[in-house]
């Protein structure tokens, strides 16, 4: 309790004497300015503010001193943080240099697997369970243009037998709604007396039968669709009707992209048919001519693609040179794209126009 009373007394004394200190400092410019607590105002400013409330001037002095104090502390913090940053010995997990061979190989394998999955994996099959008596593949069946495919996953649910009278005839219909192909079914000879097919190889196929559900499902597995129009990417919809139920089967007609094939046997030892030199030049004909001369010397039959966007076009001396001229100052990126578009070999070697080939240049490795 005594300590609390002492602290309250000190605070009460401090707040009571502070206005008096401000008045002394304001009128006489002495006192605290000697120890650097509050900066001293010039006499001209004091004289100009004689008619101002003393507490206003004191408040201005204190605000200015507080701003200067914060600025000095901020500079100290910045300098100290820079020193700490220079002395930092933390271990960063990020890598900023060239990738090691293990990491590079792993990234290449991931990229190749992604490309393979994107180009070779077909659309997933989406099976639609029998909400009606018909079970079918709603989406995922694909066929190439002018080719045939069996309609997979088509069947009748066993409960469909309760909708039909025993040994009575019923009808299952197929309709190509977009008329992009025809429908057909292969019927086993054993079912000739119990199956009648109307519209073979047409856009409207009808199966009349008295077969039990199990045998009808075997027959439905032989229904095929044949694409009759060449379309690189189209969607066909086949409607299947049974009693008063209708199901829609979507077929994707598309042409699979051709794989990139390279003949690794023929010309395997001929570097000239496997590599093209590509460069971009701009008003440096002496340099690009030296480059062409060095390539002709060490690889006489190698093709050289030169893209040029100079203002005054000059001929390029040398053999096997393809000189492509672009508008003035078209730019490095546009020139590089044009040069790469003219490469007809498996590999290319892009060089700056001020480089030269020497006896130490080895493109084979």
3-state helix/strand/coil string of 115-164: HHHHHHCCCCCEEECCCCCEEEEEECEEECCCCEEECCCCEECHHHHHHC
- Predicted local confidence at residue 152, as pLDDT: 87
The winner for highest mean pLDDT among 29-38, 43-52, 217-226, 264-273 is: 217-226
pLDDT at 106 over 50: yes
CATH 2.60.40 range(s) for the chain read 126-254
Instruction: Give CATH for domain 271-350.
Output: 3.40.50
Cα torsion for 328, 334, 336, 338, to the nearest 10°?
-90
Under 8 Å between Cβ of 290 and 356: yes
pLDDT at 83 over 50: no
Under 8 Å between Cβ of 267 and 156: no
Considering the domain delimited by 126-254, tell me its CATH architecture.
Answer: Sandwich (2.60)
pLDDT at 185 over 90: yes
Measured in whole angstroms, the distance separating CA 129 from the mean position of its chain's CA atoms is 36
The pLDDT confidence band at residue 208, using thresholds 50, 70 and 90, is: very high
**Is the pLDDT higher at 223 or at 113?**
223
Provide DSSP, 323-344.
EEE--TT--HHHHHHHHHHT--
For the segment 333-343, the average pLDDT, to the nearest whole number, is 90
- Predicted local confidence at residue 229, as pLDDT: 87
Residue 274 has φ and ψ, to the nearest 5°, of -120, -20
pLDDT at 86 over 50: no
Closest of 263, 236, 262, 265 to residue 250, by C-alpha: 236
Q: Which of 77-86, 98-107, 140-149 has the lowest mean pLDDT?
A: 77-86
pLDDT at 93 over 60: no
Contacts of residue 142, defined as CB under 8 A and 6 or more positions apart, other chains included, come to 122, 123, 149, 251, 252, 253, 254
**Is the pLDDT higher at 42 or at 143?**
143
Cα(296)–Cα(356) distance, integer angstroms: 11
The pLDDT confidence band at residue 205, using thresholds 50, 70 and 90, is: very high
For the segment 137-154, the average pLDDT, to the nearest whole number, is 87
Per residue in 6-64, pLDDT tens? 666 666 655 556 555 655 555 555 444 444 444 444 444 444 444 445 555 555 666 66
The pLDDT confidence band at residue 239, using thresholds 50, 70 and 90, is: very high
- Predicted local confidence at residue 259, as pLDDT: 63
Number of helices (H), then strands (E), in the chain: 7, 16
Work out the end-to-end distance of the chain between its first and last CA atoms, rounded to an integer number of angstroms.
89
The pLDDT confidence band at residue 274, using thresholds 50, 70 and 90, is: confident
CATH 3.40.50 range(s) for the chain read 271-350
- Predicted local confidence at residue 25, as pLDDT: 54
Cα(253)–Cα(234) distance, integer angstroms: 5
- 3-state helix/strand/coil string of 185-201: ECCCHHHCCCEEEECCC
For the segment 56-77, the average pLDDT, to the nearest whole number, is 60
């Amino acid at each position: 309790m005594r300590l609390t009373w002492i602290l309250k007394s000190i605070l009460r004394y401090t707040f009571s004497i502070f206005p008096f200190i401000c008045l002394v400092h304001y009128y006489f410019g002495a006192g605290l300015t000697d120890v650097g607590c509050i900066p001293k105002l010039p006499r001209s400013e004091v004289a100009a503010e004689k008619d101002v409330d003393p507490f206003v001037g004191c408040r201005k002095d204190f605000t200015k001193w507080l701003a200067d104090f914060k600025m000095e502390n901020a500079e100290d913090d910045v300098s100290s943080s820079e020193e700490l940053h220079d002395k930092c010995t933390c271990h960063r997990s990020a890598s900023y240099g060239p990738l090691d061979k293990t990491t590079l190989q792993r990234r290449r394998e991931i990229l190749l697997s992604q490309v393979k999955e994107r180009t070779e994996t077909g659309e997933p099959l989406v099976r639609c369970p029998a909400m009606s008596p018909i079970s079918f593949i709603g989406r995922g069946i694909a066929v190439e243009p002018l080719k045939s495919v069996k309609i997979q996953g088509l069947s009748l649910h066993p409960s469909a037998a309760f909708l039909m009278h025993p040994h009575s005839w019923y009808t299952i219909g197929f309709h190509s709604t977009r008329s992009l192909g025809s429908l057909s079914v292969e019927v086993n000879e054993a079912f000739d007396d119990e199956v009648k097919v109307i519209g073979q190889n047409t856009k409207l196929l009808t199966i009349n039968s008295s077969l039990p559900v199990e045998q009808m499902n075997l027959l439905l597995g032989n229904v095929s669709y044949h694409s009759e129009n060449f379309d690189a990417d189209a969607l066909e919809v086949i409607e299947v009707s049974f009693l008063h139920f209708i199901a829609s089967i979507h077929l994707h007609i598309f042409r699979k992209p051709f794989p990139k094939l390279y003949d690794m046997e023929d010309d395997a030892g001929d570097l000239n048919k496997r590599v093209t030199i590509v460069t971009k030049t701009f008003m440096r004909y002496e340099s690009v001519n030296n480059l062409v001369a060095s390539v002709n010397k060490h690889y006489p039959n190698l093709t050289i693609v030169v893209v040029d966007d100079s203002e005054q076009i000059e001929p390029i001396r040398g053999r096997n040179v393809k000189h492509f001229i672009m508008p003035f100052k078209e730019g490095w990126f546009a020139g590089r794209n044009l040069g790469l578009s003219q490469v007809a070999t498996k590999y290319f070697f892009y060089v700056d126009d001020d480089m030269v080939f020497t006896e130490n240049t080895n493109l084979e490795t």
